Structure 1
Amino acid sequence: MRASLIQIDVDPDESVNSRRSRVASLVREQSGSDLVVLPELWPVGAFAYESFETEAEPLRGATHDAMVGAAADAGVWLHAGSIVERDKSGTLYNTALVFAPDGTLARTYRKIHRFGFDKGEATMMGAGEELATVTLPTTVLGLATCYDLRFPELFRGLVDAGAETLVISAGWPERRRAHWTLLAQARAVENQAYVLACATAGTHAGVPQSGHSIVVDPWGEVLAEAGSGEEVLVVEYDPGTVATTRERFPALKDRVLG
């Protein structure tokens, strides 16, 4: 299976509409891949709180429409990162969108763990309540967004729901980049699953981003890692390794709590 993680540089001088068009073109260029992954809140920037209200969009808004065409033209499964969603009641959510190769919206996921410690995203957005998985022909994706990475119980729930490839879309700050790498490897090892973690580059509202999108196998080995700038990280991996790993080292069967 081939996966492409597109590490977007969210430049504050680039308009949201221009970035949508540019990212759609980048997705179309990945037509040889099976799965393409984008970062968290790439249209506006994960830390650009002051823009959340003005750039919020309905689930089937401008970003949805741009990604529908890009996924269909490339013929790929597309985890389109996340958007600032405004629902019919006016509540904002950090919502991930996953598209099938025909452009159909296959799954959404509203971020459960909101970052901010009683400010920012934690006060501006509603919390998701449901875990989300997506069944591809060769693997089952478990969806998570950024701050979710710090909560292992979420990933246990995804594994219990059948997940074999854990996909994390993020806007992770550079100052905590060591945690990003460590936690991605930990989630892979403890769940005996692949981790595909796609982050942003650039600076959001004065907050430098980590970059360093990463792909980790079920043994915790790093298969590929991006640098700090905008980059397309392409990796080939065998989803069958998950079943083999869990059979040869059946630690998950020894769970006692939870």
Structure 2
Amino acid sequence: MRASLIQIGVDPDEPVAERRTRVASLVREQRGSDLVVLPELWTVGAFAYESFAEEAEPLDGPTAEAMAAAAWDTGVWLHAGSIVERDPDGPLYNTSLVFSPKGDLVRTYRKIHRFGFDKGEAVMMAPGSEVVTVPLPQTTLGLATCYDLRFPELFRALVDAGAQTLVVPAGWPARRREHWTLFAKARAVENQSYVLACDTAGTHAGVEQAGHSIVVDPWGEVLAEAGTGEEVLTVDLDLARVAKTREDFPALKDRVLGRK
């Protein structure tokens, strides 16, 4: 399976509508990939809290419309990163969108662990509650978002639900970049799964982004890693490696606590 991670540069001076159009064009350039992944809250910026309410949109809003068309035109599975979702009943959510090659919105994931320590996202957005997987013809994706990466129990639940490839869009800051790569590798090794972690580039709301989107295999080997600017990582994944790793080193079978 060929996967492309688009590390989008989020520039606060670029209007959201223009960035949406530009990103749709970047997705269309990935023809030949099977899966394309975008970062967290790339339309507005993960730390641009003051813009969350203004830029919130429904699941059939302008970002979903643009990404559905791009997925259809390109013939790819598209994890379109996340948007600020405005639920019809009022709450805001940090919600990931996954589209099929036909342009259908097949899964959404509302971020469970909200960042901010009682401010920012943690108070402005409601938490999700569902563990979400997406069956693709080649693999089963497990969905998580940014700060979720610090909570290994979510990833265990995703593996229990059948996930083989863990997809993590993020708006991770540069000052904690070492944590970003450490956690991506750890989640891959402990769950014997691929990890596709797609971050943003640039600086928004005064917060420099880490970049360094990364693809890690089930043995913890880094297959590709971006720099700090806008960049596309394209990697061919040997999906049989998941089953082989789990068979050759069956650590998951020795779980005692929390095993299902």
Deviations 1:143-187 (A, max 9, x none): 000000000000000000000000000000000000000000000
Deviations 1:178-209 (A, max 9, x none): 00000000000000000000000001200000
Per the alignment, residue 239 of structure 1 pairs with 239
Question: Residues 27-46 of structure 1 correspond to what in structure 2 (within 5 A)?
Answer: 27-46=27-46
Per the alignment, residue 64 of structure 1 pairs with 64
Question: Residues 11-22 of structure 1 correspond to what in structure 2 (within 5 A)?
Answer: 11-22=11-22
Paired letter, 2:47? F
Per the alignment, residue 183 of structure 2 pairs with 183
Per the alignment, residue 147 of structure 2 pairs with 147
Mapped to 2, the partners of 1:41 and 1:156 lie a distance apart of 25
SS at match of 1:83: strand
Per the alignment, residue 6 of structure 1 pairs with 6
Runs of 4+ in 1 over 2 A off after TM superposition: none
Deviations 1:194-227 (A, max 9, x none): 0000000001200000000000000100000000
Per the alignment, residue 195 of structure 2 pairs with 195
SS at match of 1:10: coil
Normalising by structure 2, report the TM-score: 0.99
In the alignment, is residue 73 of structure 1 matched against residue 66 of structure 2?
A: no
SS at match of 2:144: strand
In the alignment, is residue 131 of structure 1 matched against residue 131 of structure 2?
A: yes
1:96: how far off? Answer: 0.1
Mapped to 2, the partners of 1:102 and 1:11 lie a distance apart of 30
CA RMSD of aligned residues (A): 0.4
SS at match of 1:224: strand
**Structure 2 unaligned residues grouped into runs of 5+:** none
Per the alignment, residue 106 of structure 2 pairs with 106
SS at match of 1:252: helix
1:3: how far off? Answer: 0.3
Mapped to 1, the partners of 2:116 and 2:55 lie a distance apart of 19
**Structure 1 unaligned residues grouped into runs of 5+:** none
Normalising by structure 1, report the TM-score: 1.00
Mapped to 2, the partners of 1:240 and 1:41 lie a distance apart of 32
Mapped to 2, the partners of 1:29 and 1:18 lie a distance apart of 17
Mapped to 2, the partners of 1:38 and 1:240 lie a distance apart of 24
Report sequence identity in percent.
Answer: 79
1:90: how far off? Answer: 1.3
1:89: how far off? Answer: 1.2
Per the alignment, residue 90 of structure 1 pairs with 90
Q: How many residues align?
A: 258
Mapped to 2, the partners of 1:249 and 1:58 lie a distance apart of 44
Per the alignment, residue 252 of structure 1 pairs with 252
